Amino acid sequence: MLTTTKVETFRNLIGGDWSETQSGQTFLSINPANKEEIVGVFQASNEEDVRQAIDAASRAFPQWAATAPSKRATILNKAADILEQSADTLAEELTREEGKHVNDARNEVLRSAQTLRFYAVEGQSFTGETFPHDDPNMKVSTEREPLGVISVITPWNFPISIPARKIAPALITGNTVVFKPSSDTPLIAFRLVEALHNAGIPKGVINFVTGKSSDIGDLLVTHEAVKAVTFTGSTIAGEDIHSKSSFNTRTQMELGGKNPIIIMDDADLDLAATLTVNGAFSLSGQACTGTSRVIVLQNVKDAYINRLIEKTKNLKIGNGFEEGVKIGPVANHRQLKNILNYIDIGVKEGAKLVYGGNQITDGQYAKGYYVEPTIFTDVRPDMRIAQEEIFGPVVAVIEVSTYEEAMEVANGSDYGLSASIVTNSLHIASDFTKKIQAGTVKVNRTTTGNLMNAPFGGFKKSSTATFRESGRVGLEFFTQVKTVYVGY
Ligand code: NAD
């Protein structure tokens, strides 16, 4: 039975007004740790709502593009103040909606505020170049101009930090935005938009529509006024969006991963096991950069696996509000089914299940979507559990005889988001960083985690081969270059 007391209804933001959908329909956001608890009621928008949001963004664009960058920055900074002041409450809401531990949720809210501040500064000095040439009476330079209306489409797993790292660079460079969050995490997305609204952003500069991608996804991508789509989510959805976009709509797709960690035979095996546990099981394995393949040298395999199992046993599983919990629920029923299905596939493929493998349903766990951290060994590189993104707390251990074989296995994937190696050899480490096909490469660190001020993106099917997100280069996607020749 669903809890129905004191449930708030949240509206779209279109042209500066909070509005209900034309469809008259709503949907519920549910707590994955307690599926009987409704976190909020949201608008199940239709294409008419999206059309109005895009029209509002189009109308607001000329004036916002002409607004001084310092004024745009002031609004981002005020919104950051609001997020920081309400970080504790927002963290609780994020945990109730998505399931990650409240400390992680708080860090995510604070990082999002920092992202707004970072782009408030970087965006003000993001500019073109001047070019030397032979004519003494001419100046040649480039200017960076905003694109226009940007569609921002985001997933549930970093439901405020991913929107922040797209929306902040879009706004500071003078674009206007239509933002559609994941239907699993609309509340924290609403809070980000609310912060910008309360910070005084002009009407229509940021618009917010919630709803199903099957109802509104196409128009967000194909409307002729949309000049760019920045998307983070699954590779299948990214390919669909990219293929539907017109040739002069920019796309930036941050997609799935199948991230390997290589354990060399000179590695500190305690460190290797800790890095694996943190990379594979934190956030219940629901990070795009999460470790999902371990490639371990044969002669240290047993010693490493023993340590990995011991450390996994110590992980506390539970509600994200409980002290010391390392593994929360997975985000929704679809996720739960998908993860359990992959565990089944792994068993049928002949991999050896050495730890976990079950849904947890006793006591308090019965109310939520909990899966045990799961370790498979004796995995062959061509098995589905070694090739397909599972996006849950499941790790596939593949044994190899040499470093060369490890590299072949690591690169033998359609994905190329993040990769790591554990070794004490500088020679191996530097060879690895050169030859690995991944956008984020780590040595003696987890595959997860990326800095706000450094570029982020993947190779192969993990990203479109276009623009990087994050850091200063994250501004490039949102501007076009005009080359100006002035004679005098
Ligand atoms: P998803 O692809 O199902 O949905 C992401 C967003 O896109 C949602 O808002 C959804 O409603 C919308 N959407 C889905 N199909 C669409 C379509 N055809 N047209 C328009 N919009 C559409 O992904 P998810 O389940 O929310 O998130 C998990 C996935 O995101 C994983 O594959 C993970 O690897 C990936 N991810 C990647 C990164 C990265 O930076 N590379 C970061 C986080 C998550």
User: Measured between alpha carbons, how far is 324 from 393 in angstroms, rounded to an integer?
Assistant: 18
Q: Contact at 8 Å (CB) between 262 and 442? A: no
Residue 343: the pLDDT is 98
pLDDT tens digits, one per residue of 397-424:
999 999 999 999 999 999 999 999 999 9
Residue 465: the pLDDT is 83
Residue 379: the pLDDT is 98
pTM of the model: 0.97
Alpha carbons within 13 angstroms on the beta-carbon side of residue 205 total: 28
Q: Which of 254, 372, 389, 399 is catalytic?
A: 254
The residue-averaged pLDDT of 88-114 equals 97
- Per-residue confidence at 89, pLDDT binned at 50, 70, 90? very high
The residue-averaged pLDDT of 262-271 equals 98
Ligand 1 pocket test: pick from 111, 158, 161, 182 the residue with the most ligand atoms within 8 Å of its Cβ: 182
Residue 466: the pLDDT is 84
User: Measured between alpha carbons, how far is 46 from 23 in angstroms, rounded to an integer?
Assistant: 6
Q: Give the number of other Cβ atoms within 10 Å of residue 363's Cβ.
A: 7
Distance 473 CA to ligand 1 centre (A): 22
Instruction: Answer yes or no: is pLDDT of 1 > 90.
Output: no
Ligand 1 pocket test: pick from 43, 100, 152, 153 the residue with the most ligand atoms within 8 Å of its Cβ: 153
Among protein residues, the one whose CA lies closest to atom 22 of ligand 1: 213
Query: Which of 4-13, 236-245, 356-365, 428-437 has the weakest average pLDDT?
Result: 4-13
Residue 356 corresponds to which tokens in the numbers above? 């976990």
Query: Which of 181-185, 186-190, 327-331, 465-469 has the weakest average pLDDT?
Result: 465-469
For the chain, give the mean pLDDT.
96
pLDDT tens digits, one per residue of 30-55:
999 999 999 999 999 999 999 999 99
Q: Give the number of other Cβ atoms within 10 Å of residue 353's Cβ.
A: 16
288 has catalytic annotation: yes
Q: Contact at 8 Å (CB) between 95 and 101? A: yes
Among protein residues, the one whose CA lies closest to atom 40 of ligand 1: 254
- Per-residue confidence at 6, pLDDT binned at 50, 70, 90? confident
Residue 5: the pLDDT is 57
Q: Please give all residues whose beta carbon lies within 6 A of any atom in ligand 1, as ranges.
A: 153-158, 180-183, 213, 217, 221, 232-234, 237, 240-241, 254-257, 288, 389, 391, 417, 458, 462
Who's near 486: CB < 8 A, 6+ residues apart?
138, 139, 140, 141
Who's near 220: CB < 8 A, 6+ residues apart?
50, 54, 151, 153, 178, 180, 226, 229
Distance 153 CA to ligand 1 centre (A): 8
Q: Got the DSSP string for 459-477?
A: EETTB-SS--BSTGGGGGG
Among protein residues, the one whose CA lies closest to atom 39 of ligand 1: 254
Q: Which of 37, 98, 288, 389 is catalytic?
A: 288
- Per-residue confidence at 74, pLDDT binned at 50, 70, 90? very high
User: Measured between alpha carbons, how far is 392 from 99 in angstroms, rounded to an integer?
Assistant: 13
- What atom of ligand 1 comes closest to residue 212's alpha carbon? 11
254 has catalytic annotation: yes
CA distances from 327 to 60, 93, 99, 100, 108 (A): 43, 18, 9, 8, 16
Instruction: Answer yes or no: is pLDDT of 4 > 90.
Output: no
Instruction: Answer yes or no: is pLDDT of 447 > 90.
Output: yes
The residue-averaged pLDDT of 251-267 equals 97
The residue-averaged pLDDT of 201-213 equals 98
User: Measured between alpha carbons, how far is 134 from 218 in angstroms, rounded to an integer?
Assistant: 49
Question: Nearest 5°: phi and psi at 287?
Answer: -115, 140
**Cα 420 off chain centre by:** 19
Distance 129 CA to ligand 1 centre (A): 36
The residue-averaged pLDDT of 122-133 equals 95
Q: Contact at 8 Å (CB) between 427 and 383? A: no
The residue-averaged pLDDT of 56-65 equals 98
Instruction: Answer yes or no: is pLDDT of 425 > 80.
Output: yes
Distance 425 CA to ligand 1 centre (A): 37
Higher-pLDDT residue of 465 and 214 is 214
Percent of the chain with pLDDT strictly greater than 90: 98
User: Measured between alpha carbons, how far is 159 from 113 in angstroms, rounded to an integer?
Assistant: 13
First to last CA, the chain: 76
Distance 204 CA to ligand 1 centre (A): 25
- Per-residue confidence at 448, pLDDT binned at 50, 70, 90? very high
